[in-house]
Amino acid sequence: MKTGTFEQHVEEELSRLGEATAASRVYIFENRLAPEGTLGAVPRFEWVAPVITPQIDSPEYRDFAWRVGGFGRWENTLSQGEPIHGLIRDFPESEREGLAAQGIRSIAVVPIFVEEKWWGLIGFDDCAAERVWSAAELDALKASAGIFGAAIQRKHAEERIQQQLQHVAALHQIDLAIASSLDLSVTLSIVLDQVTTQLHVDAANVLLMNSATQTLRFAANRGFRTRALQNADLRLGTGHAGRVALERQIATIPHLANQPNEFSRSAEFAREGFVAYAAAPLIAKGQVRGVLEVFRRHTLDFDPEWLRYLETLAGQLAIAIDSHAMFNGLQRANTELMLAYDTTLEGWSKALDLRDKETEGHTLRVTEMTLRLARAMGMNEAEIVHVRRGALLHDIGKMGIPDSILLKPGALTDEEWVIMRKHPVYAYELLSPISYLRPALDIPYAHHEKWDGSGYPRGLKGEPIPLAARIFAVIDVWDALTSDRPYRKAWPEAKARAHIREQAGKHFDPRVVEAFLALELEVGA
């Protein structure tokens, strides 16, 4: 995927816009929470005409907050989707000074929206003339803001998938650590490494539950500068961690300063400079085994994905602790870890369905049907594990397909098809680095191959197409045809069934079609 070139693209686009509009500066600001929790913005990109002074590194923009900076009017207007434009000398006093200091005489600023939320702005300065922006010019600027918004949205989707891949890889590292180490403290330290990196926190610790005394005791930590929080035992129900263990629920605190007395456990704690905090109970087999605490020296936006991953890591930790206690490190049931992975994959495939709004539930449905058909065709349970993962991830490569194509209401053009046909290759590129998913690649990579050799991406023909992919193809098309798509309404089941029968030996493996039709009749679906 072309994440590396995103910045270059934007730079190029800004300079193109700057020259086309004969502006002095063109820049993009991104909104972000200022330290006090109010909304602010930071400069992200800037183009300047020759002899104009760049402003992107101006100290004025460090910790810039809309209201505090005297730009509350801009916040109100831009957040409503409306532009700010005009001559600086006509602007209110609170705004005029800073703008004039940058040599600006006329300005047009258009909000950028991403996923329907106000994300930031694109601005155009004129330092040479008191330009009056025409309605047509403003419309053109709004159109470019829309294009930036779409590009950023796509970039976000790509970053999200990269991040989730790293999450899966990290879980695998933890699995290896648990499997290979006899010493719980070694395992905990490896897990805490992953916790701090993947959750972007500065420090983390694990407290273990002593069920006899109902106290939590420090077991391992990462990233602390002092010996804070290492000594005292914490009774169940006291302090943040004690409450988390008692209530069995994640707790999050974006600003520790607002809760001054909670960390009286340690006098050294204040010297750590922690700002944000979260804690998750470690629960295995219904028992609280301990608490995972994470700390950050800057505030943190606890978004749902972050919280879900914290929960996943806490689940892994609990399993590690539990299996250590049970088998004394000698033996361990692998199945629970595999279950934890598969929960991750389900979350992942749900995210995909969400994007492709029309196919909600599609992934779980096709996975379930594929497993039924695979079993009916005699695949064994060892193979079924990989079939399940492959089916859940079958269209993961569509993450790389832009919304304009994926959600297009009409037929695709030739150029769009070239891109759409890459989705199995994207899936291959994304998943093949993850060793535990490699045996699950058959479906994502080969589900659009056809029995007669006319499919893509490799044009495989007949038996060389992996059986899992041949089975999945029938189910995928069945589900696609019987569902509404952005480009057509659902077909009646009889028509879909006739299509599948007719494609036996062309699109589909005839043996699979036969098994499918037999199964279909049996369940009367």
Q: Which residue has the tokens 């047009």?
A: 108
Q: Which does 309 bind (CB under 5 to 8 A by kind): ligand C2E, Fe ion, ligand SIN, none?
A: ligand SIN
| Residue 26 three-state SS | strand
**CB-wise, 148 or 445, nearer to ligand C2E?**
445
Residue 417 Cβ, how far from ligand C2E at the closest point, in Å? 8
Using rule CB under 6 A, residue 195 touches ligand C2E:
no
Residue 198 Cβ, how far from ligand SIN at the closest point, in Å? 9
Using rule CB under 5 A, residue 272 touches Fe ion:
no
Residue type, 316: Q
Q: Which residue has the tokens 């361990």?
A: 332
Residue 402 Cβ, how far from ligand C2E at the closest point, in Å? 11
- Cα separations in angstroms, 58 against 61, 291, 355: 6, 44, 38
Residue 62 Cβ, how far from Fe ion at the closest point, in Å? 46
Residue 358 Cβ, how far from ligand C2E at the closest point, in Å? 8
| Separation between Cα atoms, residue 441 and residue 435, nearest integer Å | 10
Name, in order, each residue with C-beta under 8 angstroms of 84's C-beta and a sequence gap of 6 or more. 73, 74, 77, 78, 107, 108, 109
Tell how far CA 440 is from the center of its chain.
21
Using rule CB under 5 A, residue 442 touches Fe ion:
no
Q: Which residue has the tokens 């595999």?
A: 338
What is the token pair recorded at 391?
């089916």
- Which window, 164-172, 212-220, 322-330, 331-339, contacts ligand SIN (CB under 6 A)? 164-172
Query: Which residue among 263, 309, 426, 445 contacts ligand SIN (CB under 6 A)?
Result: 309
Binding pattern to ligand SIN, positions 109-148, x when CB under 6 A?
----------------------------------------
Scan residues 457-496 and list those touching ligand C2E (CB under 6 A).
476-477, 480-481, 485-488
Q: Which does 487 bind (CB under 5 to 8 A by kind): ligand C2E, Fe ion, ligand SIN, none?
A: ligand C2E
Using rule CB under 6 A, residue 167 touches ligand SIN:
yes
Scan residues 312-371 and list those touching ligand SIN (CB under 6 A).
312, 344, 347-348, 351, 354-355
- Which window, 24-32, 95-103, 306-314, 468-476, contacts ligand SIN (CB under 6 A)? 306-314
Alpha-carbon Rg of the chain, whole angstroms? 28
Contacts of range 99-105, beta carbons closer than 8 Å, 24 or more positions apart: 102/53, 102/55, 102/58, 102/127, 103/24, 103/52, 103/53, 103/127, 104/24, 105/129, 105/130, 105/131
Angle at 463 between CA 458 and CA 465, to 5 degrees: 35
| Separation between Cα atoms, residue 318 and residue 178, nearest integer Å | 11
| Separation between Cα atoms, residue 406 and residue 276, nearest integer Å | 38
Q: Count the residues in the chain.
A: 525
Which class for 348: exposed (0-12), middle (13-18), buried (19 or more C-beta within 10 A)?
Answer: buried
Query: Which residue among 395, 442, 449, 520 contacts Fe ion (CB under 5 A)?
Result: 395
**CB-wise, 172 or 372, nearer to ligand SIN?**
172
Using rule CB under 6 A, residue 511 touches ligand C2E:
no
Q: Which residues lie near ligand SIN (CB under 6 A)?
A: 157, 160, 164, 167-168, 305, 308-309, 312, 344, 347-348, 351, 354-355
Q: By the criterion CB under 5 A, which residues form the site for Fe ion?
A: 395, 476
